[in-house]
Amino acid sequence: MTTPHKDKTIAALLAALLGGLGAHRFYLYGKKDVRAWLYLFFFPLSILAGFAATLVIGLMPDERWDARFNAGSGRRSRSGWPVVLIVILTFAFSFLVVVIALARGLDLYFTGGALG
């Protein structure tokens, strides 16, 4: 019995763009996945989890990806530059968000909330 082949690029893209909604988990595990539904209920924290999932999915070696998600598909994954670009852009965006949050937090701490 073969199972549907799960594409690593699609999973990484779903995690990067719609990870806060759990789209990557619905794609990988189906609509019975409890953790995917929890993403919907805890949306603000889920966005960060989606970024982390993008990095985990994108950096996972293809052999390990296939062993975990495509054991019965009869096909092998060959992810290439699209996954690399998704990981780079997600890391850069995540870093930017952290720097902005840190700058704003320090501004609030040292100036008492005044911008300028």
At 3 the pLDDT is 85
pLDDT band per the 50, 70, 90 thresholds, residue 113: low
Residue showing tokens 């019975």: 32
Q: Where are the domains of the chain?
A: 8-87
* Tokens matching residue 56: 């985990």
CA dihedral 106, 111, 113, 116 (to 10 degrees): -90
pLDDT confidence of residue 40: 87
Q: Indicate the burial class of 83 (C-beta count within 10 angstroms; 0-12, 13-18, 19 or more).
A: buried
**pLDDT tens per residue across span 37-54:** 999 888 878 888 999 999
Stretch 12-30: mean pLDDT: 95
> Which tokens in the block code for residue 2?
């073969």
